[in-house]
Each structure stands twice: as structure tokens, then as C-alpha cells.
Amino acid sequence: MASATLALSGHANAQSSITLYGLMDAGVTYTNNVTTSSGHGATTQLSSGVSQGDRWGLMGREDLGGGVHAIFRLESGFQLSNGALASSGTLFGREASVGLEGPLGTVKIGRQYDLIGDTFWAYSIAGNTAAGLLAWGLPAYSAGGGTLDNRLWGDSVNNAVKYLSPSFGGLTIGAMYGFGNVAGSMATDSSMNFMLDYNRGGFHGSLAYFFQHNATTTSNLAEYAAGASYALGGAKVFGVVTDVSLTAGNKARATTYDGGISYFLRPTVSVGAGYQFQTRSNGLASANQMTVGLDYFLSKSTDLYWVAAFAHDHAFGPQIQAALGGMSSTDFQTAMRIGIRHSF
């Protein structure tokens, strides 16, 4: 990930390093049945940050002795297609944190991704192929404009304190609290997140709980998530289930199942396929999506890819390409993309 590292020497027992890194994704996406002012039509657009969000960042690490290190990360998101800042124009909208790591674990303070976003992408078809937003669309947008987003991509939480324990035979415990910073109320706009993670051999599994006060103007949000994967040779089987609910009003709830398989046909060629199925409360019909992908690695840092997604939503017009695509004028939508990614 890193190609430029600056090493600095302090006193006899301390060393510091700063690493510059980044990732860029660009390609052309075709989407059918997009709603227009006159009905519907297909769109073909150049878009960036679809497979993974465009970003650049700096990581720092200083040896304090006794196995303890001071750490920091500054990470900025942007749109390669037009150079604009992502995250509503925030310079370091993806992460801005500082902390300590050592024998007792790691503590980070600042704006940072929650534990679900750190880990659970690895159990989804979006994270195991180059599909990215083309596979996030159904769980994020089909359940009515993203209110019940299953949050596998995580959120950057402001004013957050995150702790990760050392690994105990492959088991790691994580906890995170986001301060609301509202005078007179500790709970308003705050969030909390807990995770158990086990990673040993070819098996990786996680359980998580997330709760956010004032997720909407009238309701809090609660999420339970469980995911696992198993890798053997060039093959990987993966799956994740999330249950997201609002605590007020009609207590809307969505449960999303996401699973699939990826396989390296050769060291430079990977294929993958996955299926998503979502159920909703309050009599809303279900939705499902099939996603397939092909990835060709020109090097460890650069790959070319093709992905396709086929969505069917019985209650809403699907929006396959989350955040960037257009809502379908029917209950079906298909999208295909050819792109390139480069990391440094």
C-alpha cells in the first residue's frame, strides 16, 4: 500500500516513520431503467470511487519504547473524475485520528470508521470483487432511500474513541464510542459499537452491535451483524447477515443476507459471484440482487475489472450503484462497469 516512507531518528531508543499511501478507481458504468423527467432511459457515465473510494493519506508511527508506539492517520477522500473533495468537502473526512498501540491493545481518538466498516466488508460480495457500490446499492438504497442502510461499508464517526484488544489465540475484542458533544445531554447524537472478531487459519468470523442516537430526526438506530469467511487455496467462501431497525414510529426493520464465492483461476485472474436477499417489516416486499465480477491484476498495485449486477425490488425502484446511480423506474435494474484501480 505504501511506496513512500520517511524515517526519522529521535533519541537512541526511538524511531518515527511517516507513510504516504492512496487508492484511485475510475471506469465507465452502464445502467438501465434510470428514472428521467420523461420516463426512463439508460445512462452511460464515467465515474470514480465506485469499486473503492478514491483516497490519499498519511500514517505515522513513533516508537516510545517498551513495545508502545504513538500512531496517527490522516485520510482524505476525493473524486478522481472531477477532483472534488468527498465527505461533504471535509479535508480529512475519511479519518483523522491519533492514539497509542502496545501490549495492552490499541486506542485511537478522533474521526474514524466504526468497527463494522473496518471488518465486515470482507464478508460481502462488494468487498470480495471489484463491485463496490454496485453491490452496496441494494442493501443501502432499496429499503427506502437508505434509511435502513446495512452499513457494511461503515461510517466515519466524529469525536470517537476506539479500542482494539491484542489477539488472544486469534480472538480480538473491539469497542467504540462516539461522543455527541451536545451540551446538557450525553446521549444526543452519540453512538456505540462492539465487536468480537476471530481470525485463525483460513477462517475469519465476526459479531458486532452498533447503536446510534438520533440516526433520524425522530428515531435511534440499532444494528446486529454476523459474518464469516473461509479461504482454501485460491477459493474463498463468504457470507454476512445484518439486521437494522429504527426504534420509533413504525419501527422499520430490514434484514439483509449477503454471500458468495471468489476464486483465483490463476495468480493474476480472479472471478467472483454473490447473491443478496433483503426482507423488510411493515408489509414491505423483499428485494434480491445477483452480482458477478472478473478481475485481472496487472501488478500488485494495479488491476482491470468488469462487474455486473442484476437487482429486483418488489417494493421500490432499485438503485444499484449506491449514491452515484439513478433510481430505477421499474422494479428491475441492471448495471455493468469496466474500470481500473491503482494503489500506492
Q: Whole-angstrom Cα distance, residue 206 to residue 238?
A: 12
2-343 belongs to which CATH class? mainly beta
Q: Is the pLDDT of residue 12 over 60?
A: no
Domain range list for the chain: 2-343
pLDDT of residue 64: 97
Q: Which band of pLDDT confidence, cut at 50, 70 and 90, is reported for residue 3?
A: very low
pLDDT of residue 143: 60
Cell numbers standing for residue 2: 505504501
Cell numbers standing for residue 189: 447524537
Q: Is the pLDDT of residue 263 over 80?
A: yes
For the chain, what percent of residues have pLDDT higher than 70?
A: 94
Find all residues with CB under 8 Å of 266, minimum gap 6, and list them: none
For the chain, what percent of residues have pLDDT higher than 90?
A: 79
Q: Is the pLDDT of residue 227 over 70?
A: yes
Q: Which band of pLDDT confidence, cut at 50, 70 and 90, is reported for residue 14?
A: low
**Nearest residue to 136 (alpha-carbon basis) of 239, 253, 50:** 50
For range 24-30, the mean pLDDT: 98
DSSP at 147: T
- The mean predicted confidence, pLDDT, of the chain is 92
Q: Is the pLDDT of residue 333 over 50?
A: yes
- Cα dihedral sign for 53, 180, 114, 225? negative
| Residue 154, Ramachandran bin (φ over 0: left; ψ between -120 and 50: alpha; else beta) | left
Q: Is the pLDDT of residue 241 over 60?
A: yes
- Say what the pTM is: 0.92
